[in-house]
Structure 1
Amino acid sequence: MRHHPANPRKARAALSTVLVGLLAAALTTAPGTANAGGEPRPDRPSPGTEGRVITVAADGSGDHTGVQAAVDAVPAHSTERVTIRIEEGVYREPVVIPGDKPNITLIGATGDPRDVVITYDRASGTPKPGGGTYGTSGSASVVIAGDDTHARDLTFENSWLREEHPEITATQAVAVRTTGDRLVFDNVRFLGHQDTLYANSPDADTVSRQYYTDCYVEGDVDFVFGRGTAVFDGCEFRSLDRGSDTVNGYVTAPSTPPDQEFGFLITRSCFTSDAPAGTVYLGRPWVPSSHPDAEPRVLVRDSWMGRHFREEGWIEMSSGHDWRQFRMREYRNFGPGALVTEDRPQMAPDEAARHTARAHLAGDDGWDPVREHRRGPVCTARGR
């Protein structure tokens, strides 16, 4: 079903200085911020700590050599924040932050997210030791169910590759699955291919709010999906080239519950790719068989778009669920791929005024993680 380039780990392209100039001019600019390319932000302290500190170091110089061991050491139901400071290295292990462990901060020690990588390599169709397969949810390298989890300056990856496993046809391979509320991801990379970031919630009746700022998300098929209320502010979305001259994948696949006002909001971000022009869709609505009443919602606004996007921005995922019956919208985007056609509907200005990061995330408790005085991303292929 999918074809990946021969060496996807090294597939990257430097965008032109024209792109960088456009982003700098068109997006809110302020000195002293940085992005998931790895440059530390000079206006904030060097990677620091919050509350009790647990150090993870692969060479044995810390409290633990693995991330899961550090999570296991955090007391359940703690009201105090615990920081897990992860030293430089590649940590090949699945990690689960359970729902009874809120208030955990994962932080990469160097400030460069490429230096600290948490990775695993299983897919939906990978056989489980006890029989059966993992399924999409079970394929996740990292599961974050604890409320108020923060992650900063590190990389989450699912390194599973279809060409290495031709015997497996269920190729969904999640890097991170989130179900906690009030989650913050700052200067974090999410690497995978199909279903990279599963921005979800515990169930269709529970809202899970997630704020992604200065992050980098990479994939090809539905690589940002789920029913969570997720805001992506100043992030880069990189569509991988699947080797097709016609269709090289889909960025988003929201499955917003019917009584939930907000789904995905992508703002002040950029969309990049090496794929041929006009071969990538912005997304498609996901209406799971378990929740046939889902009403997928996504708004992409004030963002730069590369030439890889099609004139038909959206497409149905399965028969009977035409994307036009859902709220799949754009507003005030720019760049060569920011087309306005009948199949790229724009949100009206008065409605767009209500769709801000703060409005999406406030909820009943007034949660406001949104950073002020920040700039948009400098998109220079910050991938593998």
Structure 2
Amino acid sequence: MTGRRAFLAGALSLPIAAQARGAEQWDAVVDPATGTLGAALAEAEKAGRPWRILLKPGLFTEKLTVRVPGLTLQGSPGTVIEYGTASGTPKPGGGTWGTGGSATLTIAAPGVALRELIVINSFDYIGARRDGSGNGAQAVALAIGREADRTTVDRCTLLGYQDTFYVQARSLVTGTRITGGVDFIFGGGAAWFERCEIVTRYVPDTDSFGYVAAPSTPAAQEFGLVFSDCSLLRENGVPEHSTWLGRPWRAGGNMALTGEAVFLRCFMDGHIRREGWTWMGYKGPDGEPRRLTPPEARLWEFGTRGPGAAPAGTDRRLLTVAEAKRFTRAKVIGF
């Protein structure tokens, strides 16, 4: 074995020969002490077929994009993928990253499965707030791009502060812990979140602890971000009635975006504000600042419980039993 193949064999801990862990077979097994996930993904792209990659425990400090359709990325207990880039920070070769480009891990191919991974954007959000630097400090941990249809995220942990999880394509998210503060689950994709823990982070020296969801769903798209049997929790120090369920995002002032987010049978701790939802600003076609308000968007609840599950109000609307039946996994994402 010579050249590039020999290098990858050492770097990835036997990446070419399929390996077994229990009954499962792997095209690559990557140990962060000896190899990189980036090299394994490059080899998968060369193969031109779906690959199965097992990551051993440890820290992968890499900023990566998955471009292989049907790829499976399986973590082990303690597998961490971490990077620290935010919107407005410099890019290699010049310019700066935007919000989407800030992601630690980006999915840019259909049918990708992520399992048992910890994905972190380690940008110093607290320090940026303290120093007054950064453009709001948007720093994405996981981005699912428009081309990444039928992505699955299972038993993962996604950790950031602002804009943790960007969802732009049909996605299934199960048993996953998503942690952040400002608009930390956002985007225009249709996504079904099931049995997830959604955790608001503590930020010192602030009275408001942000917004859980910021949907930018197209008006012509029937479904947006749907949370089924999830738990909305908080870190120590996050006070009562300090966190909005979310606000509708009219990205770029696009009038065709109305935003849909629905919470079904979710537990809500006492940090959730009684008003539930609030408005989000944008510039209209005339360039003037405007607000997209909750009544103009599609923001709903059904069967929520816990101290944060307040009664219905003008901006906090409840689905009827008949209306709630329309929201099923099969209808929302089709897989």
- Fold-level match, TM-score > 0.5? yes
User: What does 1:208-287 align with in structure 2 at a 5 Å threshold?
Assistant: 208-243=169-204, 246-273=207-234, 274=236, 275-287=238-250
Shift, 1:146, TM fit: 1.1
Deviations 1:6-36 (A, max 9, x none): xxxxxxxxxxxxxxxxxxxxxxxxxxxxxxx
Equivalent residue for 1:193? 161
Give the Cα separation in 1 of the matches to 2:321 and 2:118: 36
Shift, 1:160, TM fit: 0.4
Equivalent residue for 1:348? 320
From the two aligned structures, give the one with the greater strand fraction. 2
Give the Cα separation in 2 of the matches to 1:120 and 1:49: 29
1:105 aligns with 2:66: no
Give the Cα separation in 1 of the matches to 2:126 and 2:247: 25
Give the Cα separation in 2 of the matches to 1:237 and 1:286: 19
1:359 aligns with 2:323: no
User: What does 1:13-24 align with in structure 2 at a 5 Å threshold?
Assistant: none
Give the Cα separation in 1 of the matches to 2:91 and 2:73: 28
Which of the numbers 110, 113, 117 marks the counterpart of 1:154? 117
Give the Cα separation in 1 of the matches to 2:22 and 2:273: 40
Equivalent residue for 2:268? 305
Give the Cα separation in 2 of the matches to 1:228 and 1:218: 19
The answer as to whether partners of 2:228 and 2:265 remain within 8 angstroms in 1 is yes
Runs of 4+ in 1 over 6 A off after TM superposition: none
Instruction: Give the residue type in structure 2 aligned to 1:84.
Output: I
CA distance 1:358–1:157, change in 2 (3 Å): same
Instruction: Give the residue type in structure 1 aligned to 2:317.
Output: P
Gap regions ≥5 residues in structure 1: 1-44, 201-207, 368-384
CA distance 1:48–1:284, change in 2 (3 Å): farther
1:330 aligns with 2:301: yes
The answer as to whether partners of 2:170 and 2:333 remain within 8 angstroms in 1 is yes
Give the Cα separation in 1 of the matches to 2:209 and 2:119: 23
1:183 aligns with 2:151: yes
Instruction: Give the residue type in structure 1 aligned to 2:331.
Output: A
Give the Cα separation in 2 of the matches to 1:48 and 1:86: 16
Give the Cα separation in 2 of the matches to 1:73 and 1:199: 26
CA distance 1:344–1:290, change in 2 (3 Å): closer
Shift, 1:97, TM fit: 0.7
Give the Cα separation in 2 of the matches to 1:192 and 1:232: 18
Shift, 1:225, TM fit: 0.2
Deviations 1:19-65 (A, max 9, x none): xxxxxxxxxxxxxxxxxxxxxxxxxx977635x521111222xxxx1
| SS of the residue 2:152 aligns to | strand
The answer as to whether partners of 1:49 and 1:83 remain within 8 angstroms in 2 is no
Aligned residues: 300
Shift, 1:219, TM fit: 0.2
Deviations 1:179-238 (A, max 9, x none): 2011111100000000000011xxxxxxx2100000000000000000111111000000
Shift, 1:69, TM fit: 1.0
Select the structure with the greater relative contact order (CA < 8 A; seq sep ≥ 6): 1
Deviations 1:231-259 (A, max 9, x none): 11000000012236642110000000121
Gap regions ≥5 residues in structure 2: 1-19, 282-289
Shift, 1:359, TM fit: 1.4
The answer as to whether partners of 2:44 and 2:50 remain within 8 angstroms in 1 is no
The answer as to whether partners of 2:61 and 2:81 remain within 8 angstroms in 1 is yes
User: What does 1:46-65 align with in structure 2 at a 5 Å threshold?
Assistant: 49=24, 52-60=26-34, 65=35
CA distance 1:191–1:303, change in 2 (3 Å): same
| SS of the residue 2:41 aligns to | helix
CA distance 1:332–1:163, change in 2 (3 Å): closer
Equivalent residue for 1:86? 55
| SS of the residue 1:315 aligns to | coil
What's the C-alpha RMSD, in Å, of the aligned pairs? 1.8
| SS of the residue 2:100 aligns to | helix
Deviations 1:47-95 (A, max 9, x none): 7635x521111222xxxx11111111013684x5311100011100101
Shift, 1:133, TM fit: 1.4
Shift, 1:341, TM fit: 3.1
| SS of the residue 2:330 aligns to | helix
CA distance 1:254–1:157, change in 2 (3 Å): same
Which of the numbers 339, 348, 351 marks the counterpart of 2:310? 339
Give the Cα separation in 1 of the matches to 2:33 and 2:91: 30
For normalisation by structure 1, the TM-score amounts to 0.75
Which of the numbers 66, 69, 72 marks the counterpart of 2:42? 72
State the percentage of identical aligned residues: 33
| SS of the residue 1:71 aligns to | helix
Equivalent residue for 2:90? 127
1:95 aligns with 2:64: yes
The answer as to whether partners of 1:245 and 1:276 remain within 8 angstroms in 2 is no
Equivalent residue for 2:140? 174
Instruction: Give the residue type in structure 2 aligned to 1:361.
Output: I
